[in-house]
Amino acid sequence: MSDLNTNAFWMPFTPNRTFKSSPRLVERAEGIYLYEKSGRQIIDATAGLWCSNAGHCRSEIAEAIHQQAKTLDYSSIFNFGHELGFEYAERLVQYTPEGLNHVFFGNSGSEAVESALKIALQYQRARGKGTRTMFIGREKGYHGVNFGGISVGGIAPNYQSFGQPVKANHLRHTLDIERNAFSKGLPEFGVELAEDLERLVAFHGADQIAAVIVEPFSGAGGVILPPKGYLKRLREICDQHDLLLIFDEVISGWGRMGSPFASEEFGVTPDMITSAKGITNATVPLGAVFVHDKIYNAVMDAAPDGMVEFFHGYTYSAHPVACAAGMATLDIYEREGLLTRASGDIGKYWEESLHSLADLEQVIDIRNYGLVGAIELRAPDSLKGKFGGKASALAWDAGVMARGIGDALCMSPPLIIETHEIDRLMETLREVISGL
Ligand code: PMP
């Protein structure tokens, strides 16, 4: 490792110079575990970056990728097609809420978000409401790193160096530890924060707003769960003012919350859903936007016959290898019941196990739903806002990958995790947190 040259690779979202002084490298992965070259085993309590939902290195997916790469590795997708893309799209929309029957493919969550924002703008124009060009996001929201995504997102460092080129304003975030500390499942308090949308509509005018985009729960913002009734109220306000509602389900989709999508889990149907990550079990990059009939039909109907209806697309939209990986991923999800597993006994076990750490004096909040969780730590003044990073580094040394966000340790283990593995994870975390 010492002779590895780390200069050429400019690492994303990483303090490169610090990393280079002590690189953390994994060599292989299997199930819920990562392995260093030395053979040291690390529990991947974050499923990579909230994405390896069925666990690592699933041979069925590897095999499907291999076969597809040998059969049709690529073909142009503009004005041409391959059956697999259509079959996969047809299969995917079986999982989406009613009405979201169309899929636009990209390569990542960020591209799914950009595509959704552009679809929203085009929809508004198609129905003669072209003044609606602004978006409402939410503080602490994360919607990827492209220019639209950083504009609608609400994590300051993501746009501070680049500006906010797409017109956007933000709802207040809903993390209220004081009122909701140690709540299990969705927080009781905070539904009134949805009224913030009324305030922004009154301020800007509904005729200026194209869509509202939120994550059903904020992941990268620090596992912020929606207060009970919050998303339903956002939907009502959107309906009242004829605004589109986009759920960014890049993390919350594919079983994380106990249903195929959080929309279904929380009983709220958006007009579009963005997806990526778990869609291929993170094996091959793929992003998707699921689009409601009303949007698709309006865009199709507005374009003259024979014309391109939506001037947007990627060289790798519906890449055959990604589609094959996605199909094999769905096979596993179905066969192993993974898309609803988090709502069953394992989700309960996860909840109880996480909350068993509540007695530690360093812990000021624990929040969870499905198979996500966050442990909010009491940070010393000198490390406020950065304490999660310190805890995460110590957890890594102790054999656990957990994500530090602000002062929280955030987790989203692979959906295949078993009770004894949760036990081992919590034992390790207890030691790490006690020693902070
Ligand atoms: N949206 C959400 C909700 C995400 O969590 C992420 C990634 N963490 C993205 C979009 C961006 O996805 P990607 O990194 O694949 O571009």
Does 144 sit in the ligand 1 pocket, CB within 6 Å?
yes
- Residue 5 within a domain: no
Instruction: Give yes or no for a contact between 322 and 280, defined as CB atoms under 8 angstroms apart.
Output: yes
- Residue 375 within a domain: yes
Same-domain status, 198 and 316: yes
What span, in angstroms and rounded, lies between the C-alpha atoms of 145 and 151?
A: 9
Same-domain status, 368 and 310: no
Indicate which atom in ligand 1 lies nearest the CA of residue 108: 15
Check which CATH number belongs to the domain holding 392 and give it.
3.90.1150.10
What span, in angstroms and rounded, lies between the C-alpha atoms of 175 and 330?
A: 33
What span, in angstroms and rounded, lies between the C-alpha atoms of 263 and 198?
A: 22
Closest-CA residue to 142 (of 223, 81, 72, 54): 223
Q: Is the pTM of this model over 0.80?
A: yes
Asked whether the predicted pLDDT for residue 3 surpasses 90, the reply is: no
Does 249 sit in the ligand 1 pocket, CB within 6 Å?
no
Query: What's the chain's Rg over C-alpha atoms?
Result: 21
- Looking at residue 96, its pLDDT comes to 98
Same-domain status, 381 and 324: no
- Last residue of a domain, which of 335, 350, 380? 335
Same-domain status, 198 and 185: yes
Residue whose Cα lies nearest atom 13 of ligand 1: it is 109
- Looking at residue 47, its pLDDT comes to 98
Residue whose Cα lies nearest atom 3 of ligand 1: it is 250
- Residue 211 within a domain: yes
What's the number of domains the chain is made of?
A: 2
Asked whether the predicted pLDDT for residue 276 surpasses 80, the reply is: yes
Same-domain status, 322 and 361: no
Instruction: Give yes or no for a contact between 390 and 407, defined as CB atoms under 8 angstroms apart.
Output: no
User: Encoding tokens for residue 120?
Assistant: 């929203």
pLDDT band at 21 (very low <50, low <70, confident <90, very high): confident
- Residue 290 within a domain: yes
Same-domain status, 68 and 50: no
pLDDT by residue (tens digit) across 30-60? 999 999 999 999 999 999 999 999 999 999 9
- Looking at residue 22, its pLDDT comes to 83
Instruction: Give yes or no for a contact between 213 and 152, defined as CB atoms under 8 angstroms apart.
Output: yes
**Domain range spanning residue 262?**
63-335
- 320 C-alpha to center of ligand 1: Å? 22
- 219 C-alpha to center of ligand 1: Å? 9
Does 114 sit in the ligand 1 pocket, CB within 6 Å?
no
Does 108 sit in the ligand 1 pocket, CB within 6 Å?
yes
- Residue 164 within a domain: yes
Does 109 sit in the ligand 1 pocket, CB within 6 Å?
yes
Same-domain status, 331 and 360: no
% residues pLDDT > 90 (the chain)? 97
- Residue 203 within a domain: yes
Same-domain status, 166 and 258: yes
- Looking at residue 2, its pLDDT comes to 56
Q: Which of 16-20, 270-274, 365-369 has the lowest mean pLDDT?
A: 16-20
Does 143 sit in the ligand 1 pocket, CB within 6 Å?
yes
- Residue 186 within a domain: yes
Same-domain status, 252 and 162: yes
What span, in angstroms and rounded, lies between the C-alpha atoms of 33 and 23?
A: 19
- Residue 304 within a domain: yes
Q: How large is the average pLDDT for residues 111-115?
A: 99
- Looking at residue 328, its pLDDT comes to 99
Residue whose Cα lies nearest atom 12 of ligand 1: it is 109
The mean predicted confidence, pLDDT, of the chain is 97
Same-domain status, 306 and 425: no
CB-neighbour burial class of residue 313 (10 A; exposed 0-12, middle 13-18, buried 19+) = middle
Instruction: Give yes or no for a contact between 255 and 338, defined as CB atoms under 8 angstroms apart.
Output: yes
Asked whether the predicted pLDDT for residue 338 surpasses 90, the reply is: yes
Same-domain status, 298 and 195: yes
- Last residue of a domain, which of 335, 360, 379? 335
- 116 C-alpha to center of ligand 1: Å? 13
pLDDT by residue (tens digit) across 298-325? 999 999 999 999 999 999 999 999 999 9
Does 251 sit in the ligand 1 pocket, CB within 6 Å?
yes
Count of C-beta atoms within a 10 Å radius of residue 24: 11
What span, in angstroms and rounded, lies between the C-alpha atoms of 227 and 180?
A: 9
Does 222 sit in the ligand 1 pocket, CB within 6 Å?
no
pLDDT by residue (tens digit) across 129-158? 999 999 999 999 999 999 999 999 999 999
pLDDT by residue (tens digit) across 235-245? 999 999 999 99
Same-domain status, 306 and 395: no
Check which CATH number belongs to the domain holding 312 and give it.
3.40.640.10
What span, in angstroms and rounded, lies between the C-alpha atoms of 150 and 366?
A: 28
- Looking at residue 20, its pLDDT comes to 86
Asked whether the predicted pLDDT for residue 119 surpasses 70, the reply is: yes
- 142 C-alpha to center of ligand 1: Å? 7
Q: How large is the average pLDDT for residues 100-120?
A: 98
Asked whether the predicted pLDDT for residue 1 surpasses 70, the reply is: no
What span, in angstroms and rounded, lies between the C-alpha atoms of 261 and 289?
A: 13
